[in-house]
Chain A
Amino acid sequence: EAQVTQNPRYLITVTGKKLTVTCSQNMNHEYMSWYRQDPGLGLRQIYYSMNVEVTDKGDVPEGYKVSRKEKRNFPLILESPSPNQTSLYFCASSLGFGSANEKLFFGSGTQLSVL
């Protein structure tokens, strides 16, 4: 089954404790991206990657890191989480270029709480 797999689904942590949220897709998609969703603010892009070893900042990259060492994986790293990073996070992927290839497929989401 074609899918984007995110783990964990729920995560509670404390300020300053490094964490990683994993994302993997099995559709051979070139493009992968991370979003955070907050009430009233919609989905905001954190980082994206057009291909292996190619990453770029989105609209709200502060406090986050990403890497794209393999095509299928795109982990999100919070080196020193803070309470303002409490949010619902989504990983998404698409073929990338071309009108028909912009359609985004989303993972099931990670609800993160930073205490």
Chain B
Amino acid sequence: QKEVEQNSGPLSVPEGAIASLNCTYSDRGSQSFFWYRQYSGKSPELIMFIYSNGDKEDGRFTAQLNTASQYVSLLIRDSQPSDSATYLCAVNIGRYSSASKIIFGSGTRLSIRP
């Protein structure tokens, strides 16, 4: 079982709708969770991070964490064509807050159709 799993997609969502991206992780002790966006041919950039159970909102983005079920989600409201990208879920599997134990999923490709 992979440590961080994502559906590779592509996930196609109409413009203006809500895009829902999911990620599951295997290490129950994980404490930090991140979502990175990567445009084709570009480097990943951090868009959300969450450390505690529940929801965290930032503009059109909401991260949801459920440690009991070991999944983390990213919701994108009012999806725009500029949201078309690959979204990487990253989980810190270490017991201490160190960047060295961050594991990435293989990414979900999101396509927003006009």
Contact = CB atoms under 8 A, between A and B. Distances in A.
A33 B100 CA distance: 8
A42 B99 contact: no
A96 B99 contact: yes
A90 B43 contact: yes
Nearest to B96: A97
A33 B34 CA distance: 17
Contacts of A50: 98, 100
A90 B44 contact: yes
Interface size on B, as a range, is 20 to 34
Interface string B43-71: 11110010100000000000000000000
Interface size on A, as a range, is 20 to 34
Contacts, number: 70
A14 interface: no
A42 B105 contact: yes
B1 to A, nearest CB: 15
A58 B105 CA distance: 16
B49 A103 contact: yes
Q: Which 6 A-B pairs have the closest CB atoms?
A: A42-B106, A106-B43, A43-B104, A94-B99, A102-B99, A42-B104
Interface of B: 4, 8, 31-32, 34, 36, 42-46, 49, 51, 88, 90, 92, 96-100, 102, 104-107
29 contacts: A33-B99, A33-B100, A40-B8, A41-B106, A42-B107, A43-B88, A43-B104, A44-B104, A50-B100, A56-B100, A90-B44, A94-B99, A96-B98, A97-B96, A97-B97, A98-B97, A99-B31, A99-B32, A101-B97, A102-B32, A102-B34, A102-B49, A102-B97, A102-B102, A103-B34, A104-B44, A104-B90, A108-B42, A108-B43
